[in-house]
Amino acid sequence: MDKPSECNILSEILNESPRCRGSCSAKEAPSYIDGKDDLTPRGCLLAHLILTLIEMQRASPHFKIPLNDLFMCGENADYCWSILLASSILHDVGKLVDEYIARRNYILHHQISAIIGKKALERITNNSTALKISYAILFHHEALDWKVVYKSLLSFSYLQRALSSTGKIIYTVNQNRLNEFKQNLYRILDQISQKHIITQFQHRILTETSNYAVQELENNQRFALNITRELNAAKIRDLKYLTPALALYRLLYLSDNRAASARDQYWLRLIQQVDWGQLDNVAWQISNFLAKKYYYIGLSSIPDL
């Protein structure tokens, strides 16, 4: 099979191929379902998650300090940022389940990702921080949820859609897929640490969180998960939880979409095509380049949650 474009972009950033062992992991763990081609699984989930992580690091000068303040990190700023950075790896772990890969669309992968992310994070940080990050993960597919809300007679609000599912959430996951994903993820985390994209401390936290996420995916399969109870929905409107969650969501949403743009034309290449000499229409050029394929809805601009 041809190497997914996400892997090619990652290779360009690293100046070498991702250090996956054996065959390309994209075959077992795709990153998206192509609706244009009979819902065919495509891309590489592992490359997508690493690209999202890289994009979060690139944007960190603009987000790190205010996020640390909102999450009340205090003197533990480095530890706190490493925990927040883990959302890049956790936000799509729901795509590892059999139902997603088998194109059973009643499974909403971001709901599974939020639940598993919360369970994994509770093993390395306090429950409050884990819950806030899980909300950010839950929100990261709000553009898709809003489309359903707009078209549905059954959903009346974004949160109703985000916190709903067809009954209980039940999934299964292939053990070989999980093991291969974990081992290759560790190898690439080592690789980007050696490239100084992440620090040694961040590497430790990300590896530990990833290990717990894989364990939780395995341990919670075949159980009926109630998303309202698992994510403590009563707190989702509490500003102490919602405000930091929305701030992290903005960074995660931006980073996720930048990473996903590698499936078409990577956003950084598009921006490099801007003619900065035409200062009167630079903003128009940027908007035109980035709006060709990707459609954004800003949750923070929607007044009624």
Residue extents of the structural domains in the chain: 47-255
Task: Identify which of 213, 175, 208 has the alpha carbon closest to the alpha carbon of residue 189.
Answer: 208
Contact yes or no for 296/142 (Cβ under 8 A) = no
Instruction: State the Cα–Cα distance between residues 70 and 57, nearest whole angstrom.
Output: 18
Quickly count: other Cβ atoms within 10 Å of residue 289's Cβ.
16
**Which residues of the chain fall short of a pLDDT of 50?**
294-305
Instruction: State the Cα–Cα distance between residues 32 and 260, nearest whole angstrom.
Output: 9
Residue type, position 66, single letter: P
Instruction: State the Cα–Cα distance between residues 149 and 52, nearest whole angstrom.
Output: 27
> CATH 1.10.3470: does it fit domain 47-255?
no
**What pLDDT sits at residue 150?**
61
**What pLDDT sits at residue 303?**
37
The rounded radius of gyration (Å) of the Cα atoms in the chain is 19
DSSP secondary structure of 107-122: S-HHHHHHHHHHHHHT
Q: Is the pTM of this model over 0.85?
A: yes
**What pLDDT sits at residue 298?**
44
Q: Tokens 């490493």 sit at which residue? A: 82
> 32: which strand partners?
42
pLDDT in tens, 242-269: 899 989 998 998 899 889 888 887 888 8
Sign of CA dihedral 191, 194, 196, 199: positive
Residue type, position 32, single letter: Y
**What pLDDT sits at residue 86?**
97
**What pLDDT sits at residue 22?**
67
**What pLDDT sits at residue 2?**
73
pLDDT in tens, 114-155: 999 999 999 999 999 999 999 999 988 776 666 666 666 565
| Burial bucket for residue 249 (CB in 10 Å: 0-12, 13-18, 19+) | buried
Helical H segments across the chain, by residue range: 5-14, 45-70, 77-85, 87-90, 98-101, 109-121, 127-139, 142-151, 158-162, 175-194, 200-219, 227-230, 239-260, 267-272, 282-290
Contact yes or no for 221/171 (Cβ under 8 A) = yes
> 41: which strand partners?
33
| Cα angle value 108/235/224 (rounded, 5°) | 40
**What pLDDT sits at residue 144?**
65
Instruction: State the Cα–Cα distance between residues 297 and 99, nearest whole angstrom.
Output: 27
**What pLDDT sits at residue 145?**
66
Quickly count: other Cβ atoms within 10 Å of residue 198's Cβ.
21
**What pLDDT sits at residue 136?**
93
